[in-house]
Amino acid sequence: FFLKNSFRIQSKMLAVVLFFALVGLVSAKVELAYVRSDLTCTDSAEFFDAIGLLCQSCTSTDTSLANIVPDSSELDAFGNKMGCSCSTGYQYVADGGTTKGFTCSSSCLDQGRSVASDGTTCASCLNLNNNDNRNSYSSTDKDCTCAQPGTSDSTGGVITYKLVESYNVSAGNAMQTWKECVQCPSGQAVIDADLTTMGRAYTADKYTCASCPDPNMFFTNTSPKRCECGGGMVAKGKESIGELYCVSTSSATSTSYEVEYFNVQTSVDGAPTGSYSVDNSDVLEHYLDWGYHNCYADNFLLTSMTPTVQRACQAIANLCVMQLYDNDHVACQKYQQIKNNRDGNYYDGISEWKRALPWLYYSDAATTIREDLEIEMKMSFVEMAGYVHEMDYRLGKYSMNGTFIGFEKLSTQFSYCGRSSPNTEFGAGDTSSTKFLKFGTSQRESYSCDLETLETEEMFFYDMWVVDVGNTDCATGTQVAAEGLCLYPVPVLMRNLREDGVTPNLNFGTNDETDDIFTRRFFLFDNLSGKKDGTLEVIRYAKSIVIQNMIQRNDPNKIYPPTLTIEYVERKPSAWADRASSETADAMAIAGLVFKAEYTMETTEFWSNVEILMGFVSAIAGVLWILRMRNWQTRNQRIGAMNPDTGDTNSTMYMVHALMMLVHTFVIVFFPFMFALSAYWFVFFKLQETVFVMMPADNEYYKEGDGGEYFFYETMFHVLFWCDTVYIFYAIYMQCNSDIFFVDWEKPKSNKQEVSIWRTLMVANEWNEMQTQRKTSIEFSLVWIAYFLIGLKLENNATMQPDIDDVSDGYINIVLRFCNTTWWFFVTFAVQWIWKFIFYERYYREPRSQIFVDLCTMAKISVFIMDEPFHGYYLHCRSPYEFADGSMMQLAEQLKKEESGLTTDRGLDAPGAPRDCQTYELFTSPIFRNMFNKVYTALNQNNSATLAQETGRLGHMVGKAGGKGRSPPPERMVSALKELNGFLQSFVEQSPPPPREELKRIVREPPFFDQIFGNPPADIRASNAKCIFYPDQKTWLKDHSFLKVTFLGMEADLWIHNVLTFNLFDIALGNTAASILLTYLVHMILVWVRGSFGQGNLATKTLVDDRFLV
């Protein structure tokens, strides 16, 4: 009890404490500290406190802290002083305690002495080395002062003296400090007031002899002082860029410093074909004469290679590169002049690489450069001893002034531009992918660049090299040693390179490559050459950068020299000056860039084989088309019959059908051919373990037949899709114009009672529903394809990297993608086919066609289908039952009798007819067709279809979709139905015997080769030929032929169309999900067209009011 109550008391006390603690927290005042974002101190008496992030004053009301000022000897990154010190003339005295403070003493001032440089001792003003008493103490400056003579020396330079501090130890070990005046060397001077001359800024300093920017300059005896060049020389350069320099009058250029641009893009969607000129480029004015003056030499010696000379030669080369190697420009002309003057002096046996002059040009032909075999390393896709599986590139990096910065290992340098916040996700940068360095893995990165961010970036120049691990002594031709590695130079193909006013590297096919000019040095962007008087008028940037590696033709384990292809575009920064208020201006500041690395192979032999295969496959297609046209003509031409729509080879219908058969034959032959081509690349590229093949190069600039290898595939995919689409609509048109009639075998139970129409309506609705059904489910296929491609990321099987197990995101190849998606379409189709034809329709339910035949049999309604004037199908559904109009019990009793064998079989009672065969392919005579048409024409004398009926076709798509055309009078309808029904019944039963031979029918099995090639009976075209019935029985390999007038008979065509539709959208959009949705949409459009017009045709041809078709 005690413990229990004690626990309760403690719980209540704890609750009270927590309550008051909570109240205290709620009522407590939260202290917030604000700091300023401006980190610059504007008051001269302040220094910046980096810990408190604020400016502090050195002045104080405390007399012990007098004469303290901000210390200017050390500044932070923002130019702020970082502490306090004693003012001039006052001596620094440390506190000596734990405060770490100090005071400023006037002890030196009181003695008339100066404060030494360390600030802690006093120094005397002495004249030990001269007798002119030039040095004296100035109470105004509170320091020693040298009197300046104000005269000039023999060179014209001013004579000045500087203060020098000296030290000595006396006999008593006391340190003695004094200051004396020492004359400055010739050309140098003491700066007594802050000034800027020849691009260099000077700060007043009586202790230093300052030099001019150039050794050939001297300070003049003027006020203020200024630098001038010596005799025979002139100052050149641009102060906005850097310090000026002196060159001889003879070497100074007499031309203008003009820069021309030929790839200016003036609108977002416009082509970069505009031109612009900067008449006086700052960078050209600054470096051109300096580079030429210091780099040129008549007899260049090893001792001539001073650091200045090396930088000058690099700078003159950089200026030529900035002009895109235009040999008409003065920068490149001066480079060539220097190069030509150094014959016989070159590096590593390379004639274009002169001593102390950067290597810019290749002298060899383009083919020789591309197919050089010097690279010795062997390549592999995985890490193996003696093989290389990762490419190692090095970039020699140079600044504009010629300074060699060093080698960089290539990683993300070519993804050089990004976007400003908050759009950084659309740009590139240091986080870009480097998968392209893995051998065989091609990569393509498209990103956007905010050009405004490049305006203030530093520009660099690069020479690209590839590390040849297989070469250990660097003894071969063009290889050089650096960082302990053998480096092979990577040729650069600059598409905008100009020579004699033309662009030889602007290739649009392989035939254009013969005159290519390869170079060495390049840049990523140019924000210097377009500057005039400090204003950037034009910026040039690399729009496209492509690294290409090609395996050797005879040794796939080795590679030819990698090549780097660059295309530049120029824009004017003035175009986005008001981007904050203009969407157009903002769009001009954003540029689309592409970086691509691809591994490829030479495919001349492959395409030669493809041409042979194309000829062979075309021959097969031609033979197949001729065979199909022959069969079609045989089915539709009859001797003595007038069939202008089909029989005459000059008729429009004949020409249309011939064309449709041609395009369909093209699709069914070349679709598997294209899949086979794609499968070849997929299997041998994605499944290879050692280097065997690489994908063809994807050069979007090249045209078909001249190097654009993927243009062939894209063209074939488009042609196949449109051919198949045209044929699908043609097939729908033909199906919606087929003639169909229901023959009712039911007898009236009495003379006063008519036969019920409901059985006919039921059969018509079942046929109407079956018209758009398919053997496979498009929804099932697309859902599972989405799961495989998106959910399991198997769409990345089509990436251009030779590893089928790697499903990471990458560069999608359209050929690999076609193979990959077609395969998964086939898998989903095959799974459904196996399920339906092996399991579902074998053990669970009858096929759709057999269900329809059974339904018609139960209803005692046979079906005549005429898909062509003299060809069609007959479904013999005259059941052996006494009647069809009855109760459920009566129907069940009749089925029981049939099951017990108490009735005759369902098959056609005719010689040669197989037992229980109810479906037949029908080949009719002209007499039969004319009598059929005569009866039906009487029904629609006023119908717009009359003309078509008279020419051998029962109507066409009339009225609106859905069959809402003009209906004949009920009396005529009933009469026509009875007459046509009686005619067809007598034809089937051959009772009474037909009056003419052409109205007789025979049943016979088609010969074996006729079944294989679909040939019609050879004797059907005879003048007195009988009507022929071919049994149309379902087998494992063949469904009922009458389904050809529905979508069930077009499964292969519809499947191919689904594949081609998906592939077309996939090429255009590159988005699997969107392609799946659009594929389904297109298919549903086909279903709607077929269902709408098919229902209208059914209503018209069967004389069933479409209001009863639901």
CA 277 to chain centroid, in Å, comes to 33
Report the DSSP beta bridge partners of residue 47. 56
pTM of the model: 0.81
Contact 583, 566 (CB under 8 A): no
Q: What is the pLDDT of residue 950?
A: 39
Residue 951 has pLDDT above 50, yes or no: no
- Better-predicted residue by pLDDT, 382 or 304: 382
Q: Which of 302-306, 656-660, 948-952, 968-972 has the highest mean pLDDT?
A: 656-660
- Better-predicted residue by pLDDT, 841 or 507: 507
Q: What is the pLDDT of residue 969?
A: 47
Residue 570 has pLDDT above 90, yes or no: yes
Residue 553 has pLDDT above 70, yes or no: yes
Q: What is the pLDDT of residue 202?
A: 94
Q: What is the pLDDT of residue 956?
A: 38
- Better-predicted residue by pLDDT, 359 or 931: 359
Sequence-ordered alpha helix ranges (H) in 736-847? 758-770, 778-786, 814-834
Q: What is the mean pLDDT of residues 913-935?
A: 87
| 159-184 pLDDT tens trace | 999 999 888 776 455 667 888 899 99
Q: What is the pLDDT of residue 389?
A: 94
Q: Which of 138-147, 300-309, 313-322, 918-927 has the highest mean pLDDT?
A: 313-322
Residue 702 has pLDDT above 70, yes or no: yes
Q: Phi and psi of 176, rounded to 5°? A: -110, 130
Distance CA 547, CA 570 (A): 22
Q: What is the pLDDT of residue 949?
A: 37
Contact 717, 1064 (CB under 8 A): yes
Q: What is the pLDDT of residue 213?
A: 93
| 236-249 pLDDT tens trace | 999 888 899 998 88
Q: What is the pLDDT of residue 502?
A: 93
Residue 910 has pLDDT above 50, yes or no: yes
Least confident of 536-545, 669-678, 801-810: 801-810
Residue 796 has pLDDT above 80, yes or no: yes
Q: Which of 540, 518, 502, 390 is nearest to 463 (CA)?
A: 518
Q: What is the mean pLDDT of residues 636-659?
A: 69
| 954-976 pLDDT tens trace | 333 333 444 444 454 456 666 77
**Counting Cβ atoms within 10 Å, is residue 61 exposed (0-12), middle (13-18) or buried (19+)?**
exposed
Q: What is the mean pLDDT of residues 620-647?
A: 78
pLDDT band of 2, cuts 50, 70, 90: very low
Contact 229, 217 (CB under 8 A): yes
**CA-CA-CA-CA dihedral for 990, 994, 996, 997, to nearest 10:** 20
Task: Indicate the angle between helix axes 330-340 and 282-295, nearest 10 degrees.
Answer: 10
Q: What is the pLDDT of residue 3?
A: 43
In this structure, which amino acid lies at residue 431?
T
- Better-predicted residue by pLDDT, 562 or 636: 562
Contact 368, 278 (CB under 8 A): no
Own/partner contacts of 933-940, CB < 8 Å, gap of 24 or more, are 935/976, 935/979, 935/980, 935/983, 936/976, 936/980, 938/972, 938/976, 938/979, 939/968, 939/972, 939/973, 939/976, 939/980, 939/1103, 940/968
pLDDT band of 535, cuts 50, 70, 90: very high
Distance CA 356, CA 538 (A): 31
Q: Is residue 545 helix, strand or coil?
A: strand
Residue 37 has pLDDT above 90, yes or no: no
Least confident of 272-286, 518-532, 971-985: 971-985
Is the bond preceding residue 224 a cis peptide, omega within 30 degrees? yes
| 1057-1107 pLDDT tens trace | 999 999 999 999 999 999 999 999 999 999 999 999 999 999 888 878 778
**E strand or H helix at 532, and its extent?**
strand 531-532
Residue 939 has pLDDT above 70, yes or no: no
Q: What is the pLDDT of residue 404?
A: 95
Pairing assessment for the beta strands 122-125 and 175-183 based on DSSP bridges = parallel
| 423-459 pLDDT tens trace | 888 888 888 999 999 999 999 999 999 999 999 999 9
